[in-house]
C-alpha cells in the first residue's frame, strides 16, 4: 500500500522566529458545531452556510447581564438590531429580557413586526425622517436625538400630534480613545450637549428621560467606559441642578470588543480584547462614585452588539480550488468570499480545518469566488494542504455579517440556527434568482431582444 501523501514543503529556519505565544501556530481542526457534525450541516443546507449557535448567544447574554449586575444592579440591555437583525436572533434576545435598539425606520419596523411595543424600542441614528418620528412618537418609543435639526423636527412632530415623547440626547466626548466618534450627537466638552438640553427643556414639547453615548466600536480600552459613564453622570447632575429635571437612564451604547482579531493587530483578539468583566468594572466604578446615582439610581442601558454575538456565528465554506502564487504562498479559492464574509475587511478571521491533517503547514491565502482583487477572506495563515470539496470554518462570523453582506454576483447563503437541543433550524433560506429580480422592471421596449 502506498503512503499517505502530503504536499512537499520547505522553510528556512530563522533564529528567534518564535512569537511570544510559542514556536509554531498549531492549526487545530474542528469537525462539529455544538456537537452537530459539519458534514451533516453541509449535506442538509449546502455550502456556504452561516451557522449560529443559540446556546452561545444565550450564554453570552446571560454572562453580560450577570457580570454587569455584580457591579450595578439596575441594568437593561437593548439588542442592537444592526449587528444581526434576523427575526429569530432578535427574539432570542427579547426572550432573555432585552429591549430593542434600532437606528433606522427599517429597523424600527422590524422591531414592531416582532411585537416589541414602542416603549421598549430605543430609536437611535442620525437619519430619522419625519414619518419615522411620527410613528415613533405615536407608539411611545424612546427617541434619542442626534442633532439640532432633529430636535426641531421632533418638537414640531410632537406638537402636531399633541403627544409628549420620551427622549434622550446623544452625547459625544473625549474618552481618550481614537478615533473619537464626534460626528454623532452633541459635544460634551464644549458645552453643546448642555445647551441642546436647555433648548429641549425650555421647548416643553418633550420629556428628557435619558442621556446616550456610543463612543465607538471594538473599544480595546475598557477605561474609556469609565470616562464616558462619568461624563454622562456629571451631565445628569448638572441637568438636575440647573434645570430641575431628573433623568431615568444613562445609555452607554455598544462598542465592547469581541474576540476577533483586527487587521493590523499582531496580538490575537483572545489576548487583546478586554473581557466583559473589565468593561463592567470600569462602568461600575463610575456609577458607584456618582452622587447622582446614590440619589436617583438611574437605569444603566447597554446596547452591546458584536461582543454578544460575534462568537456565536461560524461560516462553513468549501474549497473550490487551489493554486500556487509566485510569492511561494498557496492560494485557496473558497465558495464564500467577502460578499458573504464582509467582516474580512476589518478582521483577521480565523480559518479552521474540519478534519485532522498530517504534516507541515504552508502559508496560505484564502480567496473568495468574486473576480476582484479585494476578495481576500484571510491573508497569510499557516495551513495544512486542502483539496477541492473540503470544508473550512471561518469565524467569528455572528456580528455585522448577515446584515452587511452583499448580493454581488452570487446568491447569499442560508443561515441556520443550532438550537439548545441540537436541532438545526433554517432562519433564512439561500437566495435564488426570484429574490434578486423580484423588484425589477423591464420597460416594454426592452422586452424583446
Partner 1 sequence: MNVNKLQNLAMNDNGFIFDPNTGYSYTANETGILILRKLASGLDKDGVRTAVREIYEVSEDNFNSDFEHYMLMLESLDMIEF
Ligand X SMILES: Cc1ncc(COP(=O)(O)O)c(C=O)c1O
By the rule CB under 6 A, 255 interacts with ligand X: yes
Which of 150, 303, 335, 385 binds ligand X (CB under 6 A)? It is: 303
CB of 8 to partner 1, least distance (A): 4
Peptide bond into 48 cis (omega under 30): yes
Does 80 bind ligand X (CB under 6 A)? Our answer is yes
First to last CA, the chain: 60
In the set 5, 371, 442, 448, which binds partner 1 (CB under 8 A)? 5
Query: How far out from the chain centre does Cα 151 lie?
Result: 28
- Contact segment (CB under 8 A) with partner 1 among 138-146, 147-155, 324-332, 347-355 equals 324-332
> Residue 57 or 381: which CB sits closer to partner 1?
381
Partner whose binding site includes residue 255, from ligand X, partner 1, none (CB under 5 to 8 Å by kind): ligand X
- Residues found in the chain: 449
Binding partner 1 (rule: CB under 8 A), the pick from 138, 156, 204, 323 is 323
- How far apart, in whole angstroms, are the C-alpha atoms of residue 213 and residue 181? 10
Alpha helix ranges (H) inside 187-304: 192-203, 223-243, 269-272, 276-289, 291-296
Quick one: which of 118, 185, 210, 254 contacts ligand X (CB under 6 A)? 254
| Min dist. Cβ of residue 265 to ligand X (A) | 16
Minimum gap (Å) between residue 328 Cβ and partner 1: 5
Task: Look at the alpha carbons of 312, 313, 316, 321 in this order and tell me if their dihedral is positive or negative.
Answer: negative
For partner 1, give the closer residue by CB, 12 or 447.
Answer: 12
- 353-365 core/surface letters (b: 16 or more CB in 10 A; e: else): bbeeeeeebbbbb
**Region binding ligand X by CB under 6 A among candidate stretches 53-61, 248-256, 318-326, 354-362:** 248-256
409, interface contact from partner 1, ligand X, none, CB < 5-8 Å by kind: none
**Cell numbers given for 196:** 441642546
In the complex with ligand X, the residue whose CB is nearer, 258 or 317, is 258
Q: How far is the CB of 16 from partner 1 (least distance, A)?
A: 14
DSSP state, residue 414: P
Contact between 72 and 300 (Cβ < 8 Å): yes
Say how many residues touch partner 1, by CB under 8 A: 23
Is 253 an interacting residue with respect to ligand X (CB under 6 A)? yes
Q: Which helix H or strand E contains 105, and what residues bound it?
A: helix 105-113
Omega cis (within 30) before 179: yes
Per CB under 8 A, the list member of 161, 387, 429, 436 interacting with partner 1 is 387
What one-character DSSP code corresponds to residue 369? S
Q: Is residue 385 within the footprint of partner 1 (CB under 8 A)? A: yes
Choose which of 330, 348, 350, 378 interacts with partner 1 (CB under 8 A).
330
Residue choice 185, 210, 305, 369 for contact with ligand X (CB under 6 A): 305
From residue 242, give the alpha-carbon distance in Å to each of 174, 248, 405, 418.
23, 17, 47, 53
Report the residue number, 220 or 426, with the smaller CB distance to ligand X: 220
Q: State the Cα–Cα distance between residues 235 and 286, nearest whole angstrom.
A: 13
Q: Which does 214 bind (CB under 5 to 8 A by kind): ligand X, partner 1, none?
A: ligand X
What, of ligand X, partner 1, none, does residue 322 touch, CB below 5 to 8 Å by kind?
A: partner 1
Q: Decide if 332 contacts 319 (C-beta within 8 A).
A: yes
Contact between 172 and ligand X (CB under 6 A)? no
Q: Please tell me whether residue 16 binds partner 1 under the rule CB under 8 A.
A: no
**DSSP state letters, 324-381:** E-TTS-EEEEES--TTT-GGGGTEE-EEEESS---S--EEEEEE-SSSSTT-EEEEEE
Q: Which is nearer to ligand X, 144 or 230 (CB)?
A: 144
Query: What is the Cα 88 distance to its own chain's centre?
Result: 16
> Binding of ligand X at residue 214 (CB under 6 A)?
yes
Parallel, antiparallel or unpaired: strands 391-395 and 350-353? antiparallel
Q: Which residue has the cell 480559518?
A: 351
Question: Binding mask 341-380 vs partner 1 (x if CB under 8 A, - otherwise)?
Answer: ------------------xx--------------------
Count CB atoms within 10 A of the CB of residue 301: 24
List interacting residues with partner 1 (CB under 8 A): 1-13, 322-324, 326, 328, 330, 359-360, 385, 387
List interacting residues with ligand X (CB under 6 A): 80, 83, 101, 103, 124, 214, 217, 253-256, 303-307
Amino acid at each position: 500500500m502506498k503512503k499517505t501523501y502530503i504536499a512537499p514543503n520547505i522553510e528556512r529556519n530563522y533564529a528567534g522566529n518564535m512569537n511570544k505565544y510559542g514556536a509554531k501556530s498549531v492549526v487545530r481542526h474542528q469537525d462539529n458545531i455544538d456537537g452537530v457534525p459539519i458534514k451533516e450541516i453541509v449535506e442538509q443546507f449546502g455550502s456556504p452556510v452561516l451557522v449560529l449557535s443559540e446556546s452561545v448567544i444565550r450564554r453570552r447574554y446571560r454572562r453580560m447581564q450577570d457580570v454587569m449586575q455584580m457591579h450595578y444592579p439596575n441594568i437593561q440591555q437593548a439588542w442592537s438590531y444592526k449587528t444581526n437583525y434576523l427575526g429569530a436572533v432578535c427574539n432570542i434576545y427579547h426572550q432573555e429580557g432585552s429591549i430593542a435598539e434600532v437606528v433606522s425606520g427599517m429597523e424600527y419596523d422590524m422591531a414592531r413586526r416582532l411585537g416589541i411595543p414602542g416603549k421598549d424600542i430605543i430609536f437611535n441614528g442620525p437619519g430619522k425622517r419625519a414619518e419615522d418620528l411620527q410613528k415613533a412618537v405615536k407608539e411611545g418609543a424612546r427617541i434619542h436625538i442626534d442633532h439640532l435639526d432633529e430636535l426641531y423636527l421632533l418638537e414640531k412632530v410632537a406638537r402636531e400630534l399633541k403627544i409628549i415623547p420620551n427622549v434622550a440626547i446623544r452625547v459625544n466626548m473625549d474618552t481618550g480613545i481614537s478615533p473619537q466618534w464626534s460626528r454623532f450627537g452633541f459635544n460634551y466638552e464644549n458645552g453643546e450637549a448642555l445647551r441642546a438640553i436647555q433648548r429641549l427643556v425650555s421647548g416643553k414639547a418633550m420629556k428628557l428621560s435619558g442621556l446616550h453615548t456610543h463612543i465607538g466600536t471594538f473599544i480595546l480600552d475598557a477605561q474609556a467606559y469609565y470616562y464616558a459613564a462619568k461624563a454622562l453622570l456629571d451631565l445628569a447632575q448638572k441637568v438636575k441642578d440647573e434645570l430641575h429635571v431628573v433623568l431615568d437612564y444613562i445609555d452607554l451604547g455598544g462598542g465592547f470588543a469581541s474576540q476577533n482579531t483586527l487587521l493590523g493587530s499582531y496580538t490575537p483578539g483572545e489576548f487583546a480584547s478586554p473581557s466583559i468583566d473589565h468593561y463592567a468594572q470600569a462602568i461600575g466604578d463610575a456609577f458607584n462614585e456618582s452622587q447622582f446615582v446614590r440619589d436617583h439610581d438611574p437605569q444603566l442601558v447597554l446596547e452591546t452588539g458584536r461582543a454578544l454575538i460575534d462568537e456565536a456565528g461560524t461560516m462553513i465554506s468549501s474549497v473550490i480550488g487551489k493554486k500556487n502564487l509566485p510569492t511561494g504562498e498557496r492560494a485557496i479559492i473558497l465558495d464564500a468570499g467577502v460578499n458573504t464574509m464582509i467582516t474580512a475587511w476589518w478582521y483577521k478571521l480565523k480559518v479552521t480545518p474540519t478534519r485532522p491533517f498530517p504534516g507541515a503547514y504552508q502559508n496560505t491565502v484564502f480567496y473568495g469566488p468574486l473576480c476582484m482583487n479585494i476578495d481576500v477572506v484571510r491573508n497569510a495563515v499557516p495551513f495544512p494542504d486542502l483539496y477541492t470539496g473540503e470544508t473550512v470554518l471561518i469565524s467569528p462570523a455572528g456580528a455585522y455579517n448577515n446584515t452587511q453582506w452583499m448580493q454581488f454576483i452570487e446568491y447569499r447563503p442560508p443561515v441556520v440556527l443550532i438550537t439548545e437541543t441540537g436541532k438545526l433550524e433554517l432562519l433564512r433560506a439561500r437566495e435564488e434568482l426570484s429574490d434578486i429580480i423580484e423588484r425589477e422592471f423591464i420597460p416594454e421596449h426592452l422586452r424583446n431582444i
